[in-house]
Amino acid sequence: MRKYRTMLAFAKISRFKKLIQHPAVCQLIRSLHKESIPVAWEKPKIGWTKLNFDGSSKGKAEKASIGGLFRNHKAEFLLGYAESIGRANSVIAELAALRRGLELVLENGWSDVWLEGDAKTLLHIIAKRKQVRCAEAQRHVCEINSIIPELNNCVLTHIYREGNRAADKFAKMGHWYQKPQIWEHIPPHQVLSIMHEDAEGKVLFRKIR
């Protein structure tokens, strides 16, 4: 009887090993071991204007659009923009979104500006002066670098996509329009719920390894 029980135990262990080696189970175990980090949009300081921007590039055709929005220290909507920019990869779309946002900064006379996007590559290109080979990207970088010194104060930060949802929505809306769109004071209804959650400080969780 004792020998039978021992054999039965080894059989169960063997089946268990096979189970945990199954690809689906391995994936589940890996997902459970990922850490979650909280992500939330933050309001700018009093007197500052915050721009959240984003670029969108779809599929092999690289049909691209850009968008972004400006809010004040009360999370109130000031201005939003969205437009299609033809064919471009994701890096150029992000650069174009920031460049257009900065042009609007100058047009509206904002001087203390917080710039925020969800592309780390862009942060390296602009803040850390990473070199780019693409001529079109270089043109955007040169224009961005010429505008920033004109501002009294300017910071550029990265946020995960979960905290940049409103800008992501504007960028995707850019695919819909043949002409550039501007919204002043009253945002489009498509972003109202996201903006409300941002203003309330809603925290979303992003899983990282």
Task: Going residue by residue through the chain, which has 209 residues, state the pLDDT in tens, using 9 for 90 and above.
Answer: 555 454 544 444 455 445 445 565 556 555 555 688 999 999 999 999 999 999 999 987 789 999 999 999 999 999 999 999 999 999 999 999 999 999 999 999 999 999 999 999 998 999 878 888 889 999 999 999 999 999 999 999 999 999 999 999 999 999 999 999 999 999 999 999 999 999 999 999 998 76
Closest by CA position to 102, among listed 86, 118, 114, 85: 114
Amino acid at 155: V
What is the distance, to the nearest Å, from the Cα of residue 205 to the centroid of all Cα atoms in its chain?
Answer: 14
Lookup result for tokens 């592309």: 119
Q: What local confidence, expressed as pLDDT, does residue 139 receive?
A: 95
Q: How many domains does the chain have?
A: 1
Closest by CA position to 102, among listed 156, 163, 165: 156
On the CB side of 158, CA atoms within 13 Å amount to: 13
CA distance 199 to 10: 58
Lookup result for tokens 């890996």: 30
Q: What local confidence, expressed as pLDDT, does residue 19 receive?
A: 46
Domain assignment of residue 31, yes or no: no
Domain assignment of residue 163, yes or no: yes
* Sign of the alpha-carbon dihedral angle for 159, 165, 166, 170: positive
Total length of the chain: 209
Domain assignment of residue 11, yes or no: no
Domain assignment of residue 104, yes or no: yes
Domain assignment of residue 36, yes or no: no
CA distance 142 to 17: 58
Q: Containing domain of residue 94, as a range?
A: 49-207
The tokens for 176 are 């819909």
Q: What local confidence, expressed as pLDDT, does residue 20 receive?
A: 47
Domain assignment of residue 124, yes or no: yes
What CATH number does residue 90 fall under? 3.30.420.10
Q: What local confidence, expressed as pLDDT, does residue 47 receive?
A: 98
